[in-house]
């Protein structure tokens, strides 16, 4: 039940990355998971729910800060998409962080041509998509952005040749060589473990899923793989991205990327398959660390925010994610976990 989900964006020749699906998850906490209730309107006794809630820590400070900010917000903060064509030139002239962006993409100029051989793709007004954009230096980049004012910029791979010259090079010689290792944590993937929202909607009740996912992925990438240069970015809509910028990550082959993704994966299945959290008898140390992270949030998230124990429909939706042959061993896992 306690799960976080990430997608690893593969290095592809396409400007829009192909996303492979992967998922991390842990077993459910003992409460609510082992019921196996069959009565449709059976409910967890109110006193048990109250007892669980009483064991929870006080509301985290960040929630109070967000609430205070919301209270202080001006009444009309709605965004009008029609104003975007007027605002973008201003944004690219005055606000876009050209300096830090170029310093990042240039990686200190080592190796050479890293920036100029990088593909960018732009989404322009009316969803016009243009690939193979590349720039010789920061000035060139700056000039072009201010001219085109893209609605969206995608960062592609570093190629063997300048992407803007791709038509002058044999297609077999024009090869994607490097790309940061990118993970997408997308709220749309969590609908089987949240009840407050669905699809791209996010509220403060389901946001803790993002917090857990970030902490779990950050720990695994740093401790298990030794990566150091992680850039976490809020997508602005329904998810968070992690760009792993270490040299070893950038030069990973497709197979290497898939191997990292597979290591982090616990939930199997996809769009046309029933997703299941396949948990082996012996829990991998990395998953144990994830459980420790989740444990801090579980009661607040599952019992309070999502009221998972409210009715059978809710808890069954979550139990159904666990393969039946995993249910019994989970009791011993839970015991082991308590000893940590």
For residues 204-243, which are near Zn ion according to CB under 5 A? 205-206
308 binds Zn ion (CB under 5 A): no
| Residue 32, token pair as written in the block | 């609510």
CA 309 to CA 48: how far, in whole Å?
10
103 binds Zn ion (CB under 5 A): no
56 binds Zn ion (CB under 5 A): no
184 is catalytic: yes
Strand order in the sheet with 152-159: 128-133, 118-124, 152-159, 176-178
Nearest distance in Å: CB 187, Zn ion: 8
Q: Which of 177, 246, 241, 239 is nearest to 11 (CA)?
A: 177
- Stretch of 14-22, 196-204, 217-225, 322-330 lying at the interface with Zn ion (CB under 5 A): 196-204
**Distance between first and last Cα of the chain:** 20
41 is catalytic: no
Q: Which of 184, 186, 210, 206 is nearest to 197 (CA)?
A: 206
The residue (of 124 and 203) whose beta carbon lies closer to Zn ion is: 203
- Residues binding Zn ion: number (CB under 5 A): 5
The residue (of 196 and 278) whose beta carbon lies closer to Zn ion is: 196
The residue (of 70 and 325) whose beta carbon lies closer to Zn ion is: 70
* Catalytic residue, candidates 21, 178, 180, 184: 184
187 binds Zn ion (CB under 5 A): no
317 binds Zn ion (CB under 5 A): no
Nearest distance in Å: CB 98, Zn ion: 36
The residue (of 15 and 208) whose beta carbon lies closer to Zn ion is: 208
Nearest distance in Å: CB 206, Zn ion: 3
269: left (phi over 0), alpha (psi -120 to 50) or beta: left
CA 303 to CA 228: how far, in whole Å?
35
- Say which residue the tokens 């669905």 belong to: 198
304 binds Zn ion (CB under 5 A): no
Nearest distance in Å: CB 27, Zn ion: 23
63 binds Zn ion (CB under 5 A): no
List % helix, strand, coil for the chain (3-state, nearest 5).
Answer: 45, 15, 35
From candidates 37, 153, 197, 327, binder to Zn ion by CB under 5 A: 197
203 binds Zn ion (CB under 5 A): yes
The residue (of 205 and 304) whose beta carbon lies closer to Zn ion is: 205
> Which contacts qualify for 205-211: CB closer than 8 Å, 24 or more apart?
205/305, 205/306, 206/305, 206/306, 208/297, 208/300, 208/301, 208/305, 209/4, 209/301, 210/185, 210/239, 210/240, 211/297
The residue (of 37 and 196) whose beta carbon lies closer to Zn ion is: 196
148 binds Zn ion (CB under 5 A): no
119 is catalytic: yes
- Stretch of 132-140, 198-206, 212-220, 318-326 lying at the interface with Zn ion (CB under 5 A): 198-206
Q: Which of 182, 260, 210 is nearest to 3 (CA)?
A: 210
- Say which residue the tokens 């990686």 belong to: 107
Positions marked catalytic: 119, 184, 186
Binding site for Zn ion (CB under 5 A): 196-197, 203, 205-206
């Amino acid at each position: 039940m306690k799960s976080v989900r990430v997608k690893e964006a593969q290095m592809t020749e396409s400007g829009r990355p192909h996303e492979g699906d992967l998922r991390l998850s842990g077993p459910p906490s003992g409460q609510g998971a082992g019921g196996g209730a069959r009565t449709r309107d059976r409910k967890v006794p109110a006193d048990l729910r109250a007892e669980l809630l009483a064991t929870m820590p006080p509301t985290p400070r960040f929630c109070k800060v967000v609430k205070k900010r919301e209270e202080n917000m001006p009444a009309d903060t709605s965004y009008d998409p029609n104003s975007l064509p007027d605002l973008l030139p201003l944004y690219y002239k005055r606000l876009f962080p050209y300096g830090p962006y170029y310093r990042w993409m240039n990686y200190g100029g080592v190796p050479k041509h890293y920036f100029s051989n990088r593909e960018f793709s732009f989404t322009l007004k009316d969803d016009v998509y243009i690939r193979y954009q590349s720039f010789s230096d920061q000035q060139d980049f700056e000039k072009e952005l201010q001219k085109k004012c893209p609605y969206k910029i995608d960062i592609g791979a570093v190629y063997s040749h300048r992407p803007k010259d791709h038509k002058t090079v044999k297609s077999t010689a024009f090869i994607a060589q490097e790309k940061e290792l990118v993970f997408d944590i997308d709220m749309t993937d969590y609908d089987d473990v949240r009840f407050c929202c669905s699809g791209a909607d996010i509220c403060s009740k389901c946001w803790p899923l993002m917090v857990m996912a970030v902490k779990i992925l950050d720990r695994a990438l740093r401790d298990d793989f030794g990566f150091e240069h992680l850039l976490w970015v809020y997508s602005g809509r329904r998810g968070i991205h992690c760009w792993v910028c270490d040299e070893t990550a950038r030069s990973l082959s497709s197979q290497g990327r898939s191997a990292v993704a597979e290591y982090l994966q616990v939930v199997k299945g996809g769009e046309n398959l029933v997703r299941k959290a396949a948990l082996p008898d012996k829990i991998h140390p990395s998953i144990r660390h994830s459980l420790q992270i989740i444990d801090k949030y579980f009661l607040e998230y599952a019992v309070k925010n999502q009221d998972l124990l409210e009715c059978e429909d809710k808890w069954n939706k979550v139990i159904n994610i666990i393969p039946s042959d995993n249910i019994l061993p989970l009791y011993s896992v839970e015991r082991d976990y308590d000893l940590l």
